[in-house]
Structure 1
């Protein structure tokens, strides 16, 4: 009787273990499931600079970064005659691209009624002045550096 009970117990245990096996999922299916879970329109960490890295609160650190970038751009543009050449312009919208390798790219955004010559001239002034930036740490998505873009309003010093 003990043998029969032991055999019955082992067969039930083996049968139960077989039922616990999960259907195998291929690596490709698993990858596709994970990719669907990721929100590709948001980053886990925004770009940052050394002066803002110690801030723990994400929204405060993000604002610190945007303030730092805006002030730095304003200071670099104050060195030029942009406000003298274009006194009618008090604010420039600048599209900033932070690449995964920490490179920066600046592109002025203009209203559709702007003259082509003005766009080219202002763009060349921006490219000449917006160099030698402090190191920017790129945004992170799941621990991987990613490209981000945003538009900053830069107020020109009109004195």
Structure 2
């Protein structure tokens, strides 16, 4: 009977996975942690100082987009644009805000009629970004990160 108890105890102790120690490296821990991140979202969106008083993440995003649209539209309204036919188009701008707070246009998507009637539209869009106020970059897990986003701008020229 004693031998059977000893045999059962040894069997239990040697078959238990609790005593197996798995060796992990910092790289393995980092890779597991990186898999859990949602890389499509940031903790804080890029912003202007006018948006700092807002508390919510979505509110700050809409505030940033509103001030950017307002600034670009205002600059375009100050330009003298002469066209042969009326232009009513939505220009989709793809922006990037670097981790240093530098805004740049990656791509512009607009109708061919707009390009034909206003051949310098890209130059005007780039020029409108020259006088932007300071942009605070997006933050992800306490680090400033580069972000990309799309912004539609409506153009009406008669």
TM-score range, shorter chain: 0.7 to 0.9
CA contact (8 A) 1:110 1:119 kept: no
TM-fit CA distance, 1:92? 2.1
Deviations 1:96-121 (A, max 9, x none): 2111111111242224x558766862
User: Residues of 1 paired with 2:119 and 2:128: CA distance?
Assistant: 14
Q: Does 1:49 align with 2:48?
A: yes
TM-fit CA distance, 1:77? 1.2
TM-fit CA distance, 1:131? 0.9
Aligned residues: 139
CA contact (8 A) 1:78 1:157 kept: no
Pick which of 30-39 and 58-67 moved more: 58-67
Q: Structure 2 length as normaliser, TM-score?
A: 0.74
Q: CA RMSD in A?
A: 2.6
Unaligned runs of 5+ in 1: 1-18
Unaligned runs of 5+ in 2: 1-17
Which residue matches 2:110?
A: 110
Q: Structure 1 length as normaliser, TM-score?
A: 0.74
Which residue matches 2:9?
A: none
CA contact (8 A) 1:48 1:138 kept: yes
Which residue matches 1:122?
A: 121
